[in-house]
Amino acid sequence: MRITAQKLSAPMFLLVAVACLLGAQDPGEELTVEERVDRVFARFDNTRSPGCAIGVIQDGEFLLRRGYGMANLELGAPLTSSSVFRIGSTSKQFTAAAIVLLAQEGKLSLDNDVRKFLPELTDFGTPVTIRQLVHHISGYRDYLTLMMLAGLRDDDYYTDEELLAMLSRQQELNFEPGAEHLYSNSGYWILSQVVERASGKSLREYAAEKIFEPLGMDHTHFHNDHNELVPDRAYGYAPLEDGGYMISMTTLPMIGDGGVFTSVDDLFFWDQNFYDPKVGGSEFLEQMHSVGELNDGEELDYAFGLGVGTYRGLKLVSHGGAFVGFRADVIRFPDERFSVICLCNRADSNPSLLARQVADVYLENKLAPPEERDRPQRRRADEEAGIDIGAQARAELAGDYYSEELDVIYALRQTGEGLEVSVAAQEPLPLLALEPDVLRAQFLTLRFERNTAGAVSGFQLDAGRVKNLRFTRARE
């Protein structure tokens, strides 16, 4: 910005100074659409941090595609629209698509009992259907939560075979199939196994043959081998408390619930398939957008790996993803033939918010005013007011407890005037007493049970996407 030598008034001087600091244009000069988008991603736009790649599509063409920040900090490689990201749960729509295609081929029915393909899974008395897995209404406990509860850390490694064994040990579901909606990564991993047994090909092979290759998505695959080299890969990062970043990747081979590696450029072809379906045809599109329904008839806003709803008055189809150092979201406004793809390689990013901010820029004349929403402040578990249950009660609760479903022992120990719980090599967690026989540690809730003599016999554990895990007190 050029400033003439004329004297500026104090208010005008302040305005110009602020404009200089913010990199704004001259007062009164409007920013272009691209410049407004650049401002949304300004904090990522440097060579010292990871960031995001963005693609804006309308009527079958890119309006904008660019990268902000670095794909690899060690090599100094910048992010571009061709950078390949892990997209976490945004992958679920591709797993669901494979299921729909197999149903079209007659190799499965959406209402098949999943045990038709995986008889190793527990028979809970009521069948769990493929359709229920798709819509997250199966009741299956989330495997990532289960593995964490079993004492595994983020950087531990386990296999598909070990995961199947874990799920086969489960003695009950979170709820009766179809009774509730609760997001479950187990459901979509199980779907990956259904694809393999129904087609004779792994989900990676089937998706490549039926989806990615026909659409020309040459840099997209389900990533089931962490040792595999990936050209143009963006590394995942997490910020450190004292500044800088650490690499945040995974060695897990599980796919179906996540695991797709792709780019903004490749996702363009997938987006266009929702208007001109080269894969699946019109029946495929209708099925992909059909939402789930609970046993009582309540309709969900979750379809086949896609959320279906509205945003500021416009119909919106979307699904986000978050795993290790990657965050992603693909949002589509079908009536406007407008989409935003936002892929990020930093754990502190929020692509769902960023993508909607981009939509705000391009669709500002079509969007309704933002809704005012009162969001009550939720008290964190570690800030809850606990009660003092007394030394005798603490002594009664202390001990070792075994879970057959997790095949793990939880050790409860007294510490001064409190209790803590530890599992395997993880750091002990302090327990807060909410009621005499109800303790909490972070997001874990332990509800103790007593026998007819009043002695503590075990507890049931709730942990978000896992409910009613039974622990039995070990004999001392």
Where are the domains positioned within the chain?
A: 7-39, 85-362, 382-473
Number of C-beta neighbours around residue 153 at 10 A: 10
Number of C-beta neighbours around residue 450 at 10 A: 12
Q: What is the pLDDT of residues 256-292, one digit of tens each?
A: 999 999 999 999 999 999 999 999 999 999 999 999 9
Q: How many CA atoms lie within 13 A of 108 on its CB side?
A: 27
Q: What is the pLDDT of residues 97-114, one digit of tens each?
A: 999 999 999 999 999 999
Q: What angle do CA 356, 236, 161 make, to 5 degrees?
A: 105
pLDDT given at position 354: 98
CA distance 170 to 173: 8
Strands (E), 36-154: 52-58, 61-68, 70-72, 77-78, 85-86
pLDDT given at position 153: 80
Residue 8 reports pLDDT greater than 70: no
Q: What is the CATH number of domain 85-362?
A: 3.40.710.10
Residue 298 reports pLDDT greater than 50: yes
Residue 444 reports pLDDT greater than 60: yes
H or E stretch at 265 = helix 264-272
The token duo for 279 is 């894969």
Asked whether the domain spanning 382-473 has the same topology as the one spanning 85-362, the reply is no
Reported as a pLDDT band with limits 50, 70 and 90, residue 381 is: very low
pLDDT given at position 67: 98
pLDDT given at position 383: 53
pLDDT given at position 475: 78
Residues of the chain above pLDDT 90, percent: 88
Q: Please name every residue paired with 87 in a beta bridge, in sequence order, or none if there are none.
A: none
pLDDT given at position 467: 97
Structural contact between residues 41 and 30, judged by C-beta atoms closer than 8 angstroms: no
Structural contact between residues 304 and 290, judged by C-beta atoms closer than 8 angstroms: yes
Give the global pTM: 0.91
Residue 24 reports pLDDT greater than 70: no
The token duo for 142 is 């989330």
Residue 96 reports pLDDT greater than 60: yes
Average pLDDT over residues 26-50: 90
Q: What is the pLDDT of residues 219-255, one digit of tens each?
A: 999 999 999 999 999 999 999 999 999 999 999 999 9
Structural contact between residues 442 and 452, judged by C-beta atoms closer than 8 angstroms: no
> How many residues are present in the chain?
476
Alpha helices for 49-202 (secondary structure H): 92-104, 130-134, 143-149, 160-168, 185-199
pLDDT given at position 9: 39
The token duo for 379 is 């008290």
Short-list 175, 194, 196, CA closest to 184: 175
pLDDT given at position 400: 97
For the domain made up of 382-473, give the CATH fold: Lipocalin (2.40.128)
Reported as a pLDDT band with limits 50, 70 and 90, residue 305 is: very high
pLDDT given at position 416: 83
Q: How many helices (H) and strands (E) does the chain have?
A: 13, 21
Contacts of residue 380, defined as CB under 8 A and 6 or more positions apart, other chains included, come to none
pLDDT given at position 155: 80
Residue 20 reports pLDDT greater than 50: no
Structural contact between residues 38 and 45, judged by C-beta atoms closer than 8 angstroms: yes
Mean pLDDT score of the chain: 92
